[in-house]
Structure 1
Amino acid sequence: MHQQVYHSSEIQAWEGRWFAQQNSAYGLMQQVAWATTEQMLPRLKQQQVNSVAVCCGQGNNAGDGYLIASYLAVQGYDVEIYAAALGESTSLQQAHAAAVQQGIMIHTGFAFQHSYDAYIDALFGIGLNSELSSDWQAVIRQINRQTGLKIAVDIPSGLQANTGQALPCAVVADYTFTALGLKAGLFTGQGKAFAGEVTLISLLPVDSALKPLASLAPQYVHLVPRQAFGHKGSYGHVLVIGGHAQMGGAVMLAAEAAFHAGAGKVTVVCDAKHHTAILSRAPNIMLRDINQMSLQEC
């Protein structure tokens, strides 16, 4: 089954439509935090985690962090929170109050008092679009230097949610639990190097206005069996164009990949200098000389 991948603006608009129906923002935060905790618990048990440091920023991603800390404390984990100054979001303040009520130690700042078995990153969410300040860069590098398990809530802090670009650094997570929909930046650019194992926390009903950006192919792609009476023209024709006389490798690899992906016919339009090499590797590829063709023929 193909999983849908979304631009961050689609996720934010989806949340907006949900709240416009008089659904509670704090209620959704509680659901996300509890579902994330449920998915997290088997990993913590497997890694024999006892002590946990939860790092909270100033937005709603931090609210998830405060609630996750509360839920983990109820489960018997030794939890401490390291936090920035509390932001103005009502949901965030409610989540902070829940952690205080649970009796969790909350440290101001990110100077870890000792080492922990796991570090939960709830600093920044999908709204981050500009380069981190030097202070925040220092915090992220401090987290990355720790030897314990690293877990990101929604997205590794410092990673741009759509491009996968580090701004300019990001938390290197072992696990990322991303809420509502898969974000493109977890799979593009530098994203895969920071996200670790990605788990989707799916909660809201998908509405008709939600538009995916792309789909993730399954790990193993199974091609449709070909009919006994079919021929190469029955399974699509791929045109690969590359013109540089000194760079034939790209068209060669792209053409072979097209065949492996199931194309029936593949035509390469390139400099004739590369024709012999291409045919020696894949004689089923059809060739045209780019220098002998008009734009209309291409």
Structure 2
Amino acid sequence: MDIISLEKSHSLTQSVWSSEQIRVGERLAAASAGLTLFELMTRAGQAVFEQARSAWPQARCWWVFTGGGNNAGDGYVVARLAIEAGIQVQLIQMGDARRLRGDAATARDYYQAQGGVIGQLDQLYGQPDLIIDALLGTGLSGPLRSEVEQHIRRINQSSAPVLAIDLPSGLCADTGQILTEAVVADQTLCVIGLKAGLLTGRGPDVVGTLLLADLGMQTLLNKVLAQPPLASLMHWQQQRQALPARRRGAHKGEAGRLLIAGGNRGMNGAIRLAGEAALRCGTGLVRLVSHDSHAQLLNMMRPELMTAVFPEFSDWQWADALVLGPGLGRDDWSLALFEAALESDKPMVIDADALWWLAKRGISLPAQSPWVLTPHPGEAATLLQCTVADIEADRQAAARAIQQQYGGVVVLKGAGSLIVDERDVRLCHYGNSGMASGGMGDLLSGIIGAFMAQGLTPFNAASLAVCLHSLAGDMAATQGMRGLLASDLLSPLRSLINENDDYDNKHPEFVPG
């Protein structure tokens, strides 16, 4: 049975589903394929068992934690197969195993018929070589009971590797929220289709290496479900096809003109990073409109950048696209610059303090306007007048709410960045924690602006830019995530946009699993 990694683009890793879509779809798909749900459960357990043997071939003592739903049934299948392979198994049932119903009960009976013993948490002994997490399924919607927390803590206290079935217990499948505690897995084998919570919010903190076993169902899933997937997962091999073409005899005027407005007193670094990123992404001409206290210094550090001083500057029609916000600030000067730039009818990226001004002024944009808003969770909370916790509780709902209120395209930054317009959602699985440093957002706004200046639609420019920016961060992090600087991404940016379609095969070490 094939186990698919997210390392490379694959047709089965392009759709991200809600837990309800999977619940409904697996029944319809199984019926369409002439399979019972127990046969599907057996396939899932077989896939988990094979992955465990492949990843940890020397593990001879397994602990299998099971709960009360069908996820427990998967665990019983795994435990039975392990016994048949001569592996020592301690199965820990949370709650009364006699209360299991349906297919989970059948899997329990087959396990016991093979000589398997059902134990409780206080009966554990020794140390495992591997732990299988089959405690909770995809239906988690509220805080955990104390009994569940005890089992999760026992798993996390062990030094043994953990393989989670479908998703780590305690993680919300749809939102990536962890309400109390969650299993921290070394690997998570998602079955049938990818769930959104594995890829955004707190999901990346706990899933470890994410793998997919579609059980031969996902092609049928697309056919039997009336609704489209919740989101599309972006892969660099596909996204790079959107890179703007350039004819052999092209000149700089054909490669786009970008204005970047911001750079208040003491914040010239932000606008300079955005400008250099735009140049590295192929923009023909980039002009920085900033405060007069440092405008002349900016192109001394990077002479290819043109500069202008606000409020003297007024030629907003010069550009093909604008970026408004890097280093803008919140004083009278920044407000005047914000209002002057907003009068332009050019495609625009709104970032950083420009988002603060947008919320403060209560400005709404047309739903299909050529704008891209790029908030991090704190800025998103300001736009929606809520808390960061509210944003992180359901990132996709927050991104949709911002788009509905302010229009345009929304990029909600963070682990599992989301790109949302009035119809579609795209999700980026690249990136790493080393990118949690100052200037990364300025870099991204410059990249989005670069592609908009070169003619891409806001949605495609934002999608391409987020994918490129995150993957450049992964390339830069091969030398270590601690101390990673935004400027470290400039060289990988140029390398990536000049790579050919064999990139993933030539550099697998740069692509996270």
Q: Render the CA deviation track for 1:116-137: whole Å, top value 9, x for unaligned.
A: 1111100112221212122211
- Relative to 1, partners in 2 of residues 1:145 and 1:19: Cα closer, same or farther, differing over 3 Å? same
In structure 1, the partner of 2:370 is none
Structure 1: how far apart are the matches of 2:123 and 2:258? 56
State which of 195, 215, 233 in structure 2 corresponds to 1:215: 233
State which of 191, 194, 210 in structure 2 corresponds to 1:198: 210
- Relative to 1, partners in 2 of residues 1:42 and 1:106: Cα closer, same or farther, differing over 3 Å? same
1:156–1:170 contact (8 Å) kept in structure 2:
yes
Q: CA deviation at 1:227?
A: 3.6
Q: CA deviation at 1:20?
A: 5.0
Q: CA deviation at 1:162?
A: 2.4
Alignment of 1:173-184 (within 5 A): 173-184=185-196
Q: Render the CA deviation track for 1:132-176: whole Å, top value 9, x for unaligned.
A: 122211221111001111111110111111222222211111111
Q: CA deviation at 1:240?
A: 6.9
In structure 1, the partner of 2:17 is 6
Q: Render the CA deviation track for 1:57-80: whole Å, top value 9, x for unaligned.
A: 101111100001111221221112
Alignment of 1:104-119 (within 5 A): 104-109=116-121, 111-119=123-131
Alignment of 1:248-263 (within 5 A): 253=273, 257=277, 262=281
1:126–1:161 contact (8 Å) kept in structure 2:
yes
In structure 1, the partner of 2:177 is 165
State which of 76, 92, 99 in structure 1 corresponds to 2:86: 76
Q: Which moved more, 1:177-186 or 1:8-17?
A: 8-17
1:240–1:266 contact (8 Å) kept in structure 2:
no
Q: CA deviation at 1:251?
A: 6.0
Give aligned pairs, total. Answer: 295
In structure 2, the partner of 1:138 is 150
Secondary structure, counterpart of 2:90 in structure 1: strand
Output the amino acid matched with 1:213: A
2:35 is the counterpart of 1:23: yes
Structure 2: how far apart are the matches of 1:227 and 1:74? 63
Secondary structure, counterpart of 1:293 in structure 2: helix
Structure 2: how far apart are the matches of 1:245 and 1:66? 63
- Relative to 1, partners in 2 of residues 1:292 and 1:74: Cα closer, same or farther, differing over 3 Å? same
In structure 2, the partner of 1:228 is 248
User: Greater relative contact order: 1 or 2 (C-alpha under 8 angstroms, separation 6 or more)?
Assistant: 1
Structure 2: how far apart are the matches of 1:132 and 1:240? 48
- Relative to 1, partners in 2 of residues 1:100 and 1:9: Cα closer, same or farther, differing over 3 Å? same
Q: Render the CA deviation track for 1:165-208: whole Å, top value 9, x for unaligned.
A: 22221111111111011222222122112111111102214223
Structure 1: how far apart are the matches of 2:20 and 2:288? 39
In structure 1, the partner of 2:73 is 63
Secondary structure, counterpart of 1:171 in structure 2: coil
Q: CA deviation at 1:92?
A: 0.4
Structure 2: how far apart are the matches of 1:159 and 1:176? 12
Secondary structure, counterpart of 2:56 in structure 1: helix
Q: CA deviation at 1:222?
A: 5.6
In structure 2, the partner of 1:50 is 60
Q: Render the CA deviation track for 1:213-255: whole Å, top value 9, x for unaligned.
A: 1213249986757442345676678887779878776666556
Q: CA deviation at 1:11?
A: 2.0
1:251–1:268 contact (8 Å) kept in structure 2:
no
Q: Give the TM-score, by structure 2 length.
A: 0.50
Q: Give the TM-score, by structure 1 length.
A: 0.82
Q: CA deviation at 1:97?
A: 0.7
2:332 is the counterpart of 1:297: no
Output the amino acid matched with 1:52: W
Structure 1: how far apart are the matches of 2:92 and 2:66? 6
Q: Which moved more, 1:69-78 or 1:54-63?
A: 69-78
Q: CA deviation at 1:295?
A: 3.7
Q: Which moved more, 1:65-74 or 1:5-14?
A: 5-14
Structure 2: how far apart are the matches of 1:18 and 1:230? 51
Structure 1: how far apart are the matches of 2:36 and 2:66? 22
1:63–1:93 contact (8 Å) kept in structure 2:
yes
- Relative to 1, partners in 2 of residues 1:94 and 1:167: Cα closer, same or farther, differing over 3 Å? same
Structure 1: how far apart are the matches of 2:69 and 2:293? 56
Structure 2: how far apart are the matches of 1:11 and 1:129? 16
Secondary structure, counterpart of 1:172 in structure 2: coil
Secondary structure, counterpart of 2:71 in structure 1: helix
- Relative to 1, partners in 2 of residues 1:52 and 1:222: Cα closer, same or farther, differing over 3 Å? same
In structure 1, the partner of 2:360 is none
Structure 1: how far apart are the matches of 2:151 and 2:265? 49
1:53–1:119 contact (8 Å) kept in structure 2:
yes
- Relative to 1, partners in 2 of residues 1:175 and 1:243: Cα closer, same or farther, differing over 3 Å? same
In structure 2, the partner of 1:283 is 305
Query: Runs of 5+ in structure 1 lacking a partner?
Result: none
1:243–1:290 contact (8 Å) kept in structure 2:
no
Q: CA deviation at 1:88?
A: 4.1
Structure 1: how far apart are the matches of 2:293 and 2:77? 61
Q: Which moved more, 1:246-255 or 1:146-155?
A: 246-255
